[in-house]
Structure 1
Amino acid sequence: MDVEIGLRVDGEPHRLVVDTRTTLLDAMRERLGITSPKKGCDHGQCGACTVLLDGRRATTCLALAVAHDGAEIVTAAGLADGERLHPIQQALLDHDGLQCGYCTPGQVCSAVGMLAEAEAGWPSHVTADLSGAVELTDEEIAERMSGNLCRCGAYANIVAAIREAVR
């Protein structure tokens, strides 16, 4: 069964008709031509398809497009301000936090979402003090980014980039 939905991706409104079984990732990539989120595992385990969905990080390969009619989606491509990169994007470049680049859009969106979660005081599995402020140690950053895999193994540089962007 086909349904018409509306999505706002990187500030641009889109109307499209999708089958009710279409994932948000496939709707963006195949129907809208938005290729920043990548199809990695297609099981929600690698994080390559991570975007900011209504302000929170989400894996789009597991999200049905019809469930997000009217959603505001920001991809890694939509984070830059014109030619000026988002601080996370710039830090990843400065710290060589990417190699093949396949996971990078998901890493960027996850890092931006993770920083918002930490700023809101949301604890992670390794958060030592649950009373409020979250200190973003390397261990804390690594735990919060653990849903994003990098086949090249650039984790040390990714953590260093995020640590610098926090400053």
Structure 2
Amino acid sequence: MKKLSIDTIQTPIGGVLLVVDDGRICSLDYEDYEQRMLLLLRRRYREFELQRVVDPCGFSSRVRAYFAGNYAALNELPVVTGGTDFQRQVWEALRTIPVGTTRAYGELAKQLGKPNASRAVGAANGLNPIAIIVPCHRVIGANAALTGYAGGIARKEWLLRHEGIRVK
């Protein structure tokens, strides 16, 4: 059975669950979305065991640093997302959106060379298993609307404001 390390990090927007697989982050989700996280982990690993570990690989400290204002703390963190080829392309593209900026779903689709795939980009965005580090919160609607976020719109708004983005 696959053994995964898990830690809970207290943040200004609630508890965050960080899951690590062999030195790479495979999940980061909100405590109140634990069932969603477990469902995504089951799809990926089928059977696994979560073992409580304090600050696995120093990753929890890096997440805390981000919330303390060190936005670069999340850069270069190793992740393993799973997913389809297209989903992985979307999630990799999300990591290229700089702190303090946003992209529309259509812009992200164009960046991927698939200008008609904005809905597919949105669907992949919604299944992102690694919140904040793979910054799906930086993707907004074409009219700058704060459309869907698996952690809730209030958290998305908080994260964007935290990163210095003016939210309507």
Higher helix residue share: 2
TM-score when scaled to structure 2? 0.33
TM-score when scaled to structure 1? 0.33
Rg larger in structure: 1
